[in-house]
Amino acid sequence: MSTSATRQDIVVGVDPREDWRPAVAWAADEAHRRGLLLRLVVAVPPLHEPRRPGDLPRHREFEEAATRALEAADAWVRERQPEIRTTATLLDGVPAPTLAGLTREARMVVLGSRRLNRVAEFLSAGSLAVPVSAQAHCPVVVVVRTARSTGQPPYLLVGVDGSEPSQAALALALEEAELRGCAVRAVAVWQPPVFSLRGRDAPLDTERRLLAETVAGWAEKYPGVRLSHEVVTGSPVEALAEAAEHAEALVVGRRGDGGYLGMRVGSVVHGLLHRAPCPVITVPVEERP
């Protein structure tokens, strides 16, 4: 398997049925910052068997729309950022597993999001955010189409809980912040128990101390990045989504084990893919042999 140091392209999924510009713009900016190749791709699902009347014309129509979208996206990037190297590829295959397969060699994969609710996502054949994030071997960025610049000082928010996945998320957030010239805000969420015989402040103080210890070493590795940290209380999904209100992106880690896709991304990550007001970067921890 390739390491992140040898992966040399930014892959972006171009959706011919939706506005692909937010995701492509995000990916192009990332490719420019890192000096990497930008690979624009569309995966065209195969025809189902047995075929029904009209399947072949619809399939050809989708292929033509996909080709037009790729050509338009490539031209748009070249006009916007002519210094970026690009390729445009039409792939045969079911979109989610096909794009997930590309994560083995990519530095990062970028997708747009239609922000479906969970039921709609389950029923939609075109929903990619959760299945690709769940199976990815590299960071996956899900770009919210409604995300807007806030005019506030730029920062990346990273969810930290002391686990190995959150350490991977913190590492990527700092690397990304160094490239962008922005700050990093590390947030841990403490969910107070419903009933407790101990004082409320004691476990909260412990959480604050653990968070400070977690980020201390990273601050030394990235002295040029302004790194702040805080503990907030509440539901992890709601608290992180609220804290990310003005963030450039929210970075979270995930462990790549489990079966059902929702479980593989974890309930918090799954919830943030639906609730976060900014792009969400999911960072996988490589499974150990």
For the chain, the structural domain boundaries read: 9-144, 155-285
Q: What is the pLDDT of residue 121?
A: 40
Q: What is the mean pLDDT of the chain?
A: 85
Q: Which residues contact 257 (CB under 8 A, 6 or more apart)?
A: 264, 287
Q: What is the CATH number of domain 155-285?
A: 3.40.50.620
Would you put residue 266 in left (φ > 0), alpha (ψ -120 to 50) or beta?
A: left
Q: Quickly state the pLDDT bin for 258 (edges 50, 70, 90).
A: very low
Query: Once rounded to an integer, what is the mean pLDDT over residues 90-113?
Result: 94
Say yes or no: do domains 9-144 and 155-285 share a fold: yes
| Cα(274)–Cα(272) distance, integer angstroms | 5
Q: What is the pLDDT of residue 123?
A: 34
Q: Quickly state the pLDDT bin for 288 (edges 50, 70, 90).
A: low
Query: What tens digit of pLDDT does each residue of 161-215 get?
Result: 888 999 999 999 999 999 999 999 999 998 877 655 555 566 788 889 989 988 9
Q: What is the pLDDT of residue 57?
A: 81
| Cα(189)–Cα(1) distance, integer angstroms | 34
CATH 3.40.50.620 fits 9-144, yes or no: yes
